[in-house]
Amino acid sequence: MIAVMRIMSPDINMVAPTAMQAIDPFGREKTLLAGANIMMPNITPALYRDNYKLYENKPGTRDNPDDSLMLLTNAIESVNHRIGWDEWGDPRF
């Protein structure tokens, strides 16, 4: 679905959500490879993360925020993508 949407709408932002990682350990990376261009970090303090579980098996709920950033960076770089630090994130249209 992500690949089809990327072909149909090349200039929109599409998220690789943590839910994809809940069904496949590399789900977010695969979603990036299919055409997603955004990965959301989990920066909720560990103390409160259990209060924000929207689904079962949500990954990263035990990671501290610094580890989350490192893991997210490694995941993005593992599929030869780069983080757009300090870049404006609006779609190009």
Statement: residue 80 has pLDDT above 90: yes
> Quick one: average pLDDT of 79-90?
86
Q: What percent of the chain shows pLDDT beyond 90?
A: 43
| Residue scoring higher pLDDT (18 or 78) | 78
Query: Which of 27, 4, 2, 7 minimizes the C-alpha distance to 17?
Result: 27
Return the residue matching tokens 């990954």. 59
Instruction: Check if the beta carbon of residue 29 is closer than 8 Å to that of residue 81.
Output: no
The distance of Cα 55 from the centroid of its chain, to the nearest Å, equals 16
Ordered by start, the domain boundaries in the chain are 2-78
